[in-house]
Amino acid sequence: MREVLANLIAEKAEEDSNFIVLSGDHGYALFDPIRKRRPSQFVNVGVCEQLAVSLSAGLAKMKFRPLVYGLSSFIPLRVVEHIKLDVCFQSLPVVFLGDGAGLVYSTLGASHQSGEDLAALGALPNLRIYSPSDRYELAISFKEAFTESTPAYIRIGKSDRAACHTSELSSTNPHTIVHSDNRRKLLIATGSLLSPVSQMAKKRNLHCISVPRLRPISKSFVQEILKFEEIFIFEEHSSHGGLCTFITNAIISAGERLPLIHHFSLKSIFTKLAGSYQFALSEHDLSDAQLDNRLSEILDAPRSTQAASHLPHDSLKNDSAEFLK
Amino acid sequence: MKELNPKKLRKTILDFAYYGQSVHIPSAFSIVEILSTLYSKILTYSHQDPASEKRDFFILSKGHGVMALYACFIELGWLNETDIKNYFHDGSRLRGLAEADIPGLEVSGGSLGHGLPVATGMALGLKKREDARKIICLVGDGEMNEGGIWEALLFAAHHKLDNLLVIVDANQFQAMGRVEEILSLESLPDKFRSFGFDVLECDGHESSAIENSIQKLFSKNKKPKALIARTLKGKGVSFIEGQNAWHYTRLTKETYEAAGKELSLA
């Protein structure tokens, strides 16, 4: 996926002389092709992420098409206010690319791990948001982000997961990865978790959809989701503000009733220990093996028959100190 | 270019502040001569179209002084008397801080430390296009607390953005008191020089000194430029000058009339 990204960047530079890449001293070999083929269209601004965002706004006002690159802990998380005011307020056509999202940097700790970037951006007006899972989704997300005239964020997580597509895509609309005639249960995933989730879906003959574009979400996708009784949502992001939030907000906006949803996401904790990527995921119960076990437990469990109407009317009076996470 | 009269601009600022019951009057008063000189002598622009493709770019990074820029826009015909009378009324278009959706305002400057970095990106863009137009950005001395300002200065010097002029409204005050007491900045000229700027200082209320300094700075190449404009916060009205409480004070009928009378006599 990184090699594809490096070539996408270099090819875009050759295709469009207004294209310009700003990096806050991150990326290293990723930029070898553009630096070799179009050196004047790459600027390492230094370790100055907020400056990179503001410079991009100034360049966009001068009719350039900037790509601002950084690790997602920094672009966008560190510089959200600059994205809001300098770029989104005027809806300038700047594309932000947040690399290493989620727990990719499993050995480097909280500074480089990023489970909050989507939540930080989700409330900003005018911003499109992409979360490609493989090189095919990355290519179409990249292309679409630069076709549109509004700001966009592309989130890239673990880049060496197995590809779920086999050929080029024509849109960033949700794609069916595994088709099943079982219309009761639907698995929805984005980014790095699509690969293990698609395997789980195949194994159980469950319908599985990938969502490379998180914002905006179409009405037709909402209607497709509502054909199912039980939804399983997977993302390597906080439970707040990511794929699940975008989907449930879309259903609420459509005036529809929410289906039963099981959400597999990062816990609201910082990882405590160093280790492999799978180890870091395991602290959040999201390793490939844990995902598989957790899904089985839900699918195999007898369905609760207790309806909300059976709860006491004054349940708030008996509120305890037990909080949901 | 139209000759803008500082006294008239201050009277218009008073009108905006009175009709809108706005604060931040001293921030606007301290930059009146800087703005009148820029729009009278320095900037290329079109009276008919604030977004003209041939314009130079002026960026008000210290967005709190926006009433001074609105007063200029009244003179240039980009705003009208109704904008004054309706200032801050329900549904009116002008906000109390610089926002970039108003024709003539290039960048939102309400959050400090944004205007100069964006202006620096604009200067880089013009350089890359070999476009000879100027970028002039006005920052406040208090605003220079912001780290983003210094990132932009580093970048502008490293990339030799000699089409960029930073003017500092050195009025010695920031929101809660004197700059020297809160976060000392001096020597400002030395700081700019050490970053690689060509630097001049002048009396920020002497139009001819401002004009001469800017012309001299733009006669040199290879370095970005800085003009330290020494100003008086609240300049023009005796009971507002140097009184930091006026950063937060609204005009009453009595103070509005007293201030107007002083400006008429000046």
DSSP B119-154: HHHHHHHHHHTT----EEEEEETGGGGSHHHHHHHH
Span B191-227, pLDDT tens digits: 999 999 999 999 999 999 999 999 999 999 999 999 9
Instruction: Provide the CATH number for the domain around residue A124.
Output: 3.40.50.970
Give the CATH superfamily of B6-265.
Answer: Thiamin diphosphate (ThDP)-binding fold, Pyr/PP domains (3.40.50.970)
B118–A55 C-beta distance less than 8 A: yes
- Cβ contacts of B126 on chain A, cutoff 8 Å: 62
A9 φ, ψ (degrees, to nearest 5): -65, -45
- Cβ contacts of A48 on chain B, cutoff 8 Å: 151, 154-155
- Cβ contacts of A20 on chain B, cutoff 8 Å: 128
In chain B, domain spans? 6-265
| Alpha carbon distance, N-terminus to C-terminus of chain A | 33
* Positive or negative: CA dihedral A286, A288, A292, A293: negative
- Cβ contacts of B128 on chain A, cutoff 8 Å: 20, 40, 64
In a domain, A307, yes or no: no
- Cβ contacts of A74 on chain B, cutoff 8 Å: none
Mean pLDDT of B149-175: 97
- Tell whether A108 and A56 lie within a shared domain: yes
In a domain, A18, yes or no: yes
pLDDT class for A325, splitting at 50, 70, 90? low
- Cβ contacts of A40 on chain B, cutoff 8 Å: 128
Residue B265: predicted pLDDT: 79
CA distances from A71 to A39, A102, A131, A274 (A): 22, 10, 14, 19
pTM: 0.95
Residue A319: predicted pLDDT: 66
Interface residue A210 vs chain B (CB under 8 A):
no
- Chain mean pLDDT for chain A: 94
The alpha carbon of residue A215 is apart from the nearest alpha carbon of chain B, in Å, by: 24
Q: Which residues pair with B170 in a beta bridge?
A: B230
Interface residue A89 vs chain B (CB under 8 A):
yes
What is the number of structural domains in chain A?
2
Span A49-58, pLDDT tens digits: 999 999 999 9
Residue A324: predicted pLDDT: 63
ipTM: 0.96
pLDDT at A306 over 80: no
Please say whether the beta carbons of A67 and A83 come within 8 A.
no
- Tell whether A94 and A203 lie within a shared domain: no
In a domain, A250, yes or no: yes
- Tell whether A110 and A195 lie within a shared domain: no
* Three-state SS at A154: strand
In a domain, A318, yes or no: no
Of the residues A155, A189, A210, the one at which a domain ends: A155
Span B37-71, pLDDT tens digits: 999 999 999 999 999 999 999 999 999 999 999 99
pLDDT class for B4, splitting at 50, 70, 90? very high
Q: For residue A55, give the nearest of B108, B111, B117 by CB distance.
A: B117
In a domain, A196, yes or no: yes
Chains A and B form CB pairs within 8 A to the count of: 84
The larger pLDDT score, comparing residue A301 to residue B198, is at: B198
Residue type, position A12, single letter: K
147-206 in chain B: CB under 8 A from chain A: 147-148, 151-152, 154-155, 158
B136 φ, ψ (degrees, to nearest 5): -120, 125
- Tell whether A150 and A226 lie within a shared domain: no
- Tell whether A16 and A137 lie within a shared domain: yes
In a domain, A313, yes or no: no
Interface residue A257 vs chain B (CB under 8 A):
no
- Tell whether A181 and A136 lie within a shared domain: no
Question: Could you give the count of Cα atoms lying within 13 Å of A105 in the half-sphere of its Cβ?
Answer: 16
- Tell whether A149 and A191 lie within a shared domain: no
The percentage of chain A sitting over the pLDDT mark of 90, rounded to a whole number, equals 91
* Positive or negative: CA dihedral B250, B254, B258, B261: positive
Interface residue A64 vs chain B (CB under 8 A):
yes
A43–B125 C-beta distance less than 8 A: no
Interface residue A18 vs chain B (CB under 8 A):
no
* Three-state SS at B73: helix
Span B225-239, pLDDT tens digits: 999 999 999 999 999
- Tell whether A202 and A259 lie within a shared domain: yes
B160 φ, ψ (degrees, to nearest 5): 50, 50
A59–B108 C-beta distance less than 8 A: no
Q: In what order do the strands lie in the sheet with B57-60?
A: B57-60, B135-140, B164-170, B225-230, B198-203
Full domain range(s) for residue A137:
2-155
Instruction: Provide the CATH number for the domain around residue A263.
Output: 3.40.50.920
pLDDT class for B1, splitting at 50, 70, 90? confident
Interface residue B50 vs chain A (CB under 8 A):
no
In a domain, A168, yes or no: no
Both tokens of residue B36? 């009148």
Give the C-alpha separation, B156 to B164, whole Å: 8
In a domain, A324, yes or no: no
- Cβ contacts of B122 on chain A, cutoff 8 Å: 58-59, 61-62
The alpha carbon of residue A82 is apart from the nearest alpha carbon of chain B, in Å, by: 7
Residue A243: predicted pLDDT: 98
- Tell whether A122 and A206 lie within a shared domain: no
